């Protein structure tokens, strides 16, 4: 009798397990990495969606950031060639081309070969990074540049601990075929008042602060972006004007560009691009091929 009861329990458990599997559905299939160069990670469903065309600027159009451009380009080339390379944090002034540089470097290094895949992960999906890394580990024939734009953490947010562990501290570590680039307006990814609060309230202020700012230590490259000079701003405008063949005298365009940035209260690559869009619209020029 005892044996029959045990058998019935086992059968019931098996039926329950099969029912749960049906409710959960089949795991999402891996995308066709050979057919696309860029993807977006969706934590809901743990899936990758293909990006048919990446919204990017050509590398030559990014002006005023020559030093950081060359450093990131060299680091990415080494990674694509199977050599040691670092995770990179691009931090600093808004609108100075941090995310544009990552996408442009990817295009330049890959060169249409398909050997280097770009995956964007949204800041709110960072806690699902280990699941993405598990997929990447199963694709050793490709190299993956995982990119998170505008990464930062607030006081009540503990997901930065997941990122720390995923990048360096986990038992498996970062996959050899993956590198992680992030952009942020904050050098330590955490607001200054959050760091100062730790200093004032923690029993051991030094240790508390170090635990939070150590996240940025996971990035071997810190590349700073600062507000551009007037000369760099005008060079950005000239680069776009020449690239898209927008007609007009340089002196008049420069005067209009300076007036435009004065109304915005800042000079940056984003402001230059917004001016060029306005200029092209007034001149009846279509901005194709960007």
Question: Which tens digits make up the pLDDT trace of 129-146?
Answer: 889 999 999 999 999 999
Q: Can you give the pLDDT at residue 213?
A: 61
Is the pTM here over 0.85, yes or no? Answer: no
Tokens representing 123? Answer: 């800041």
pLDDT for position 205 = 47
E runs forming strands in the chain: 38-42, 47-50, 88-92, 116-121, 143-148, 178-184, 221-225
Phi-psi label, residue 108: left if phi above 0, alpha if psi -120 to 50, beta otherwise: alpha
172/269 Cα distance (integer angstroms): 39
Domain 38-225 in CATH 3.40.50.1000? The answer is no
Mean pLDDT of 255-281: 94
Range 102-120 average pLDDT = 94
Query: 59-86 in b/e burial notation, b at 16+ Cβ within 10 A?
Result: bebbbbbeebbeebbebbeebbeeeebb
pLDDT in tens, 206-263: 544 455 566 777 888 999 998 889 999 999 999 999 999 999 999 999 999 999 999 9
- Summarize the confidence of residues 92-109 as an average pLDDT: 93
pLDDT of res. 70: 96
DSSP conformational letter for 34: T
Least Cα distance to 200 among 192, 160, 216 occurs for: 192
Residues 10-48: tens digit of each pLDDT: 667 666 765 555 554 445 556 888 888 999 999 888 899
With pLDDT > 90 as the criterion, what percentage of the chain qualifies? 51
**Domain boundaries defined on the chain:** 38-225, 230-283
């Amino acid at each position: 009798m005892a044996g029959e009861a045990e058998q019935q329990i086992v059968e019931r458990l098996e039926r329950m397990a099969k029912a749960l599997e049906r409710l959960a559905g089949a795991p999402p299939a891996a995308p066709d990495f050979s057919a696309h160069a860029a993807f977006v990670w969706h934590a809901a469903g743990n899936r990758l969606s293909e990006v048919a065309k990446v919204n990017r600027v050509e590398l030559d159009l990014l002006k005023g950031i020559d030093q950081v451009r060359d450093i990131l380009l060299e680091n990415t080339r080494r990674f694509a060639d199977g050599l040691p390379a670092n995770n990179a944090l691009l931090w600093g002034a808004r609108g100075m081309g941090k995310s544009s540089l990552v996408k442009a470097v990817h295009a330049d290094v890959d060169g249409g070969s398909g050997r280097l895949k770009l995956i964007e992960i949204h800041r709110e999906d960072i806690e699902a990074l280990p699941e993405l890394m598990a997929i990447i580990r199963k694709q050793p024939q490709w190299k993956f540049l995982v990119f998170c734009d505008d990464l930062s953490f607030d006081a009540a947010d503990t997901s930065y601990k997941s990122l720390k562990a995923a990048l360096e501290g986990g038992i498996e570590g970062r996959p050899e075929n993956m590198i992680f680039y992030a952009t942020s307006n904050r050098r330590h990814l955490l607001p200054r008042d959050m760091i100062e609060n730790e200093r004032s309230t923690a029993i051991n202020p030094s240790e508390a602060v170090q635990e939070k700012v150590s996240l940025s230590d996971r990035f071997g490259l810190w590349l700073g972006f600062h507000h551009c000079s007037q000369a760099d701003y005008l060079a950005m405008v000239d680069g776009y004007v020449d690239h898209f063949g927008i007609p007009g005298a340089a002196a008049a365009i420069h005067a209009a560009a300076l007036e435009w940035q004065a109304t915005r209260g800042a000079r940056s690559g984003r402001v230059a691009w917004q001016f060029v869009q306005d200029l092209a619209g007034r001149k009846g020029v279509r901005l194709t091929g960007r």
